[in-house]
């Protein structure tokens, strides 16, 4: 293939990958692979002098596709040039001072204030035209509703969803295949909602990373050309700004290491750093290229890679029928942890890598977190795609959706399509049937013992068969029966959560149960309108909840289970002394069986329990008060008391 043909091929591949990532919120290749192909394209364009009109090196982004109003930016929002070489950043400074900050992985948004009030919010869009999301931005949890500065003010920042909020949202989704893949995709979809109520439910946060030059000459003069003083000005108005450090050519390498050491404890997604000149006027004087400004540059982590041998491809069936390939390889050390597995995502990527058993592959952690295959050094391509489902033995087929090939089991009775929901049903926060692991459930499903939730309470019929199964015996059977009997006494909230209704996690189930006085009949007959009035329950969850009970088969299942169970009232202490207080629990406990037990007590006393430390946290409970864990450090930074179990009991 000659250079021009390769350029055409690369442009098509990269544009398809960008379209999938920016417009459709899914990935068809890793960041590492995209960067490598992009760099190859740049080199070929430079060598040949040929640049196609639709080359990603010439385009800033893709056209927006939602029905939100569109608006042109006063100035194009260009993407940044990038490097993975710390020494290149040192050279780029050219002896000047710089400001190094996180490059957060979310959605870029421009906010405009007038007379101290937010009047407009626009997404980056394609860099020239963005989407107007003003109503949605007003629901971001940390944006000031009003600011003291009364002139016109525009600033840019990144809208993100933290890992802890992302995990909470996913925890409320019973269907494992309906869960969001990463915080960036969830944030993008949340910010661009047509309903601001949905945005408000997603806990979107905004971190400012630059101030658009204001018209106020006196204000500009007060900044003294300092990038950092602009950050300090925004902080003084109540905005949260990205974490930053002042650097010089002599300190930048150590500062990059300081940032890299913090990645594991960060509660927000990032895909690198941004280096800007501290002297704003100097940076502006450098101008820009057709695609990149010259006053800033992005740094992406040079992912640590390790070479290993591919041992097998494990085909993992899911509730949707997708059978996902997972690479299993000889264990290697990456970023301080042992890694032996990596998702290959789909058949298209597997074919592109030409994977074969015994191949030598290189693996890395994308953004230092998610294991991925970087390259196949052998490329034998000797890998068979299974013709039967590993779960049910039914026939598989390959489907092609928008150019992406996936393996699918079409058997509607495939046990894998129910096992995840059964696992949720018996889990601790649901029916709490101890001893029924996912592996055990899978065996019972394969034997035909379990077809729906009520069958758990009929397992005694299969005693003779269960006690003779491998890994079981009389004692195992008795333990399971005891756990099933104990599970019949349950709170209404746990029962509602156990049903696996879309969007109804542990906390939402508690809110619904409380609103309807823990009455199963009231809950069953509630409508979407009434549910949406429950504080903390949005229109989407209310609609999904009502839709569940609109199906006769679900009502029949609900009634049959309700007849078996004995409902207990949720524990509520007369002493609501913790009302208005928010706790975070970390580390091991001494006098409580587990964190759930302590959490239940706090909630019974009117308090709340969060997953991560924030400015809204009242106390961090950790028996190792002097620990330097991420949560302890964050609590100390925010001035939040770190207390032991004994301290908590004396509150």
**DSSP-H helix ranges across 172-226:** 183-191, 196-201, 217-223
- Whether 19 is catalytic is no
Give the whole-angstrom CA distance, residue 621 versus residue 587: 8
Q: Name the pairing type of β-strands 305-317 and 129-131.
A: unpaired
What are the start-end ranges of the E strands in 56-187? Answer: 70-72, 82-83, 98-104, 107-114, 117-123, 129-131, 153-160
Query: Which DSSP state fits 283?
Result: H
Taking only Cα atoms into account, the Rg of the chain, rounded to an integer number of angstroms, comes to: 27
Query: Which DSSP state fits 264?
Result: G
Cα separations (Å) of 269 from 82, 119, 297, 466, 586? 18, 28, 19, 46, 21
Query: Which DSSP state fits 247?
Result: E
Give the whole-angstrom CA distance, residue 168 versus residue 536: 13
3-class secondary structure per residue, 172-187: CCCCHHHCCCCHHHHH
Give the whole-angstrom CA distance, residue 512 versus residue 128: 44
Q: Which of 621, 534, 603, 520 is nearest to 566 (CA)?
A: 520
Q: Are 81 and 288 within 8 A, CB to CB?
A: no
Q: Please, what is the Cα angle at 547 between 544 and 552, to 5 degrees? A: 145
Q: Please, what is the Cα angle at 527 between 523 and 533, to 5 degrees? A: 90
Q: Which of 103, 510, 631, 634 is catalytic?
A: 103
Give the H or E element holding residue 438. helix 438-447
Q: Are 116 and 149 within 8 A, CB to CB?
A: yes
113 HSE (CA, 13 A, CB side) = 23
Q: Which two tokens stand for residue 404?
A: 């992406």
Q: Is the dihedral of CA 132, 135, 139, 143 positive or negative?
A: positive
Cα separations (Å) of 197 from 125, 534, 537, 541? 22, 13, 10, 12
Q: Which two tokens stand for residue 502?
A: 């879309």
CA dihedral angle for residue 175, residue 181, residue 184, residue 185, rounded to 10 degrees: -70
Catalytic residues: 103
């Amino acid at each position: 293939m000659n250079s021009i043909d390769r350029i055409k091929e690369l442009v098509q591949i990269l544009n398809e990958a960008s379209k999938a990532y920016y417009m459709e919120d899914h990935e068809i290749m890793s960041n590492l692979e995209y960067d490598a192909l992009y760099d190859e394209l740049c080199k070929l364009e430079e060598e040949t002098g040929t640049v196609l009109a639709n080359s990603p090196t010439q385009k800033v982004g893709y056209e927006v596709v939602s029905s939100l109003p569109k608006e042109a930016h006063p100035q194009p929002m260009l993407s940044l040039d990038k490097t993975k070489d710390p020494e290149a950043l040192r050279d780029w400074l050219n002896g000047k001072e710089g400001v190094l900050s996180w490059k957060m992985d979310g959605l870029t948004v421009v906010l405009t204030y007038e007379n101290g009030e937010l009047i407009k919010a626009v997404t980056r869009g394609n860099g020239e035209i963005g989407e107007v999301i003003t109503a949605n931005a007003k629901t971001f949890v940390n944006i000031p509703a009003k600011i003291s500065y009364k002139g016109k003010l525009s600033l840019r920042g990144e809208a993100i969803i933290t890992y802890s909020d992302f995990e909470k949202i996913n925890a409320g989704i019973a269907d494992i295949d309906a869960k969001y893949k990463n915080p960036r995709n969830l944030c993008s979809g949340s910010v661009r909602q047509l309903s601001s109520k949905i945005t408000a439910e997603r806990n979107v946060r905004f971190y400012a990373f630059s101030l658009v030059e204001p018209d106020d000459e006196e204000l500009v003069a007060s900044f003294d050309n300092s990038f950092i003083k602009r950050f300090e000005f925004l902080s003084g108005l109540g905005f949260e700004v990205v974490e930053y450090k002042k650097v010089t050519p002599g300190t930048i390498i150590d500062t990059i290491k300081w940032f890299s050491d913090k990645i594991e404890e960060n509660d927000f997604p990032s895909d690198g750093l941004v280096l800007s000149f501290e002297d704003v006027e100097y940076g502006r004087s450098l101008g820009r290229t057709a695609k990149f400004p010259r006053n800033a540059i992005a740094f992406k982590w040079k992912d640590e890679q390790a070479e290993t041998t591919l041992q097998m491809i494990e085909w993992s069936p899911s509730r949707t029928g997708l059978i996902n390939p997972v690479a299993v390889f000889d264990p290697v050390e990456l970023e301080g942890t042992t890694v032996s597995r990596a998702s290959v995502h789909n058949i298209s990527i597997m074919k592109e890598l030409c994977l074969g058993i015994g191949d030598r592959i290189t693996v890395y952690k994308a953004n230092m977190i998610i294991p991925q295959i970087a390259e196949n050094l052998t490329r034998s391509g000797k890998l068979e795609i299974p013709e039967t489902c590993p779960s049910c033995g039914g026939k598989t087929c390959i489907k092609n959706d928008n150019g992406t090939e996936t393996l699918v089991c079409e058997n509607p009775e495939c046990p894998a399509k129910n096992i995840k929901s059964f696992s949720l049903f018996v889990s601790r926060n649901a029916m709490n049937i101890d001893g029924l692991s996912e592996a055990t459930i899978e065996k019972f499903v394969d034997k035909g013992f379990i077809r729906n939730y009520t069958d758990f309470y009929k397992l005694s019929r299969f005693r003779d068969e269960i006690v003779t199964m491998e890994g079981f015996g009389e004692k195992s059977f008795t333990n399971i029966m005891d756990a099933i009997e104990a599970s019949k006494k349950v709170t209404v909230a746990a029962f509602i959560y156990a049903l696996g209704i879309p969007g109804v996690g542990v906390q939402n189930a508690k809110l619904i149960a409380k609103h309807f006085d823990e009455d199963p009949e009231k809950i069953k007959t509630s409508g979407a309108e009434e549910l949406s009035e429950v504080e903390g329950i949005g229109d989407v969850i209310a609609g999904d909840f009502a839709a569940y009970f609109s199906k006769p088969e679900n009502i029949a299942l609900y009634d049959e289970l309700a007849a078996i169970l004995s409902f207990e009232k949720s524990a509520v202490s007369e002493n609501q002394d913790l009302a208005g207080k928010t706790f975070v629990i970390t580390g091991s406990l001494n006098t409580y069986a587990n964190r759930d037990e302590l959490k239940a007590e706090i909630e019974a006393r009117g308090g709340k329990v969060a997953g991560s430390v924030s400015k809204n946290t009242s106390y961090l409970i950790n028996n190792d008060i002097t620990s330097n864990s991420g949560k302890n450090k964050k609590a100390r930074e925010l001035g939040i008391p770190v207390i032991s179990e004994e301290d908590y009991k004396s509150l």
